[in-house]
């Protein structure tokens, strides 16, 4: 009796049917030392200024030179200014199905008029690879 499907072939068929073949490949190759897969993060949307009204920063996590966006990655945001509040307050947002993490920023009500700008930093890790990005200084508007 001939074997029609090998066990590894059957497993790959099951994985592809579930849409997980790409995920299984990337999980096995996301290492900083292997150089097989690179991961990048970039700010896509940055407000012109931070005001008392919530503005949003959008940060995209992807595989460069492909159209692969990474969902489910925890991105941690922080700011250089104590006069800026992040929403959610924890500063951690998980990327959606488009690889996008979106966080709100507002000026604190007690921010002095001399507060000028803030830089927002985003960082994440995938496997053994860590990526950090910073915005250019964003103007703080008070009052």
Q: Taking a C-beta distance cutoff of 8 angstroms, is the pair 99, 71 a contact?
A: yes
Q: Both 58 and 126 in a single domain? A: yes
Q: Both 128 and 104 in a single domain? A: yes
Q: Both 108 and 65 in a single domain? A: yes
Q: Both 82 and 60 in a single domain? A: yes
Q: Both 57 and 126 in a single domain? A: yes
Three-state secondary-structure class, residue 26: helix
Q: What percent of the chain has pLDDT over 70?
A: 73
Q: Both 122 and 96 in a single domain? A: yes
| Least confident interval from 24-33, 38-47, 83-92 | 24-33
Q: Both 47 and 17 in a single domain? A: no
Name the average pLDDT for the chain: 81
The span from the CA of 140 to the CA of 23, in Å, is 40
Q: Both 58 and 20 in a single domain? A: no
What are phi and psi for residue 16, nearest 5 degrees?
Answer: -70, -35
What does the DSSP assignment read for 98-127? TSEEEEEEEE-TT--TT--EE-EEEEEEET
Question: Is pLDDT larger for residue 64 or for residue 95?
Answer: 95
First to last CA, the chain: 82
Q: What is the DSSP letter of 135?
A: P
Q: Both 52 and 19 in a single domain? A: no
Q: How confident is the model at residue 133 (pLDDT cuts 50, 70, 90)?
A: very high
Q: Both 13 and 53 in a single domain? A: no
What pLDDT was estimated at residue 11? 52
Q: Stretch 132-137: mean pLDDT, rounded?
A: 96
Q: Taking a C-beta distance cutoff of 8 angstroms, is the pair 55, 106 a contact?
A: yes
pTM above 0.75, yes or no: no
Q: Both 46 and 28 in a single domain? A: no
Domain range for 51 is 38-140
Per residue in 77-107, pLDDT (tens digit) is 999 999 999 999 999 999 999 999 999 999 9
State how many domains the chain has: 2
Question: CB-based burial of residue 107 (10 Å sphere; 0-12 exposed, 13-18 middle, 19+ buried)?
Answer: buried
Q: Both 108 and 67 in a single domain? A: yes
CATH number at residue 119: 2.60.40.10
The span from the CA of 48 to the CA of 66, in Å, is 29
């Amino acid at each position: 009796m001939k074997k029609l499907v090998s066990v590894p072939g059957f497993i790959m068929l099951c994985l592809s049917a579930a849409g997980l073949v790409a995920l299984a490949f990337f999980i096995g190759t996301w290492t900083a030392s292997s150089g097989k897969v690179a991961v990048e993060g970039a700010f896509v949307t940055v407000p012109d200024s931070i005001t008392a009204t919530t503005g949003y920063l959008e940060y995209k996590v992807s595989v460069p030179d492909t159209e692969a966006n990474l969902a489910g990655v925890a991105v941690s945001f922080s700011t250089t200014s104590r006069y800026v509040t992040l929403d959610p307050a924890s500063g951690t947002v998980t990327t959606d199905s488009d690889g996008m993490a979106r966080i709100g920023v507002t000026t604190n009500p007690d921010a002095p008029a001399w507060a000028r700008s803030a830089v927002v930093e985003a960082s994440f890790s995938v496997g053994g690879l860590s990526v950090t990005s910073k915005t250019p200084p964003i103007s703080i508007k008070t009052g």
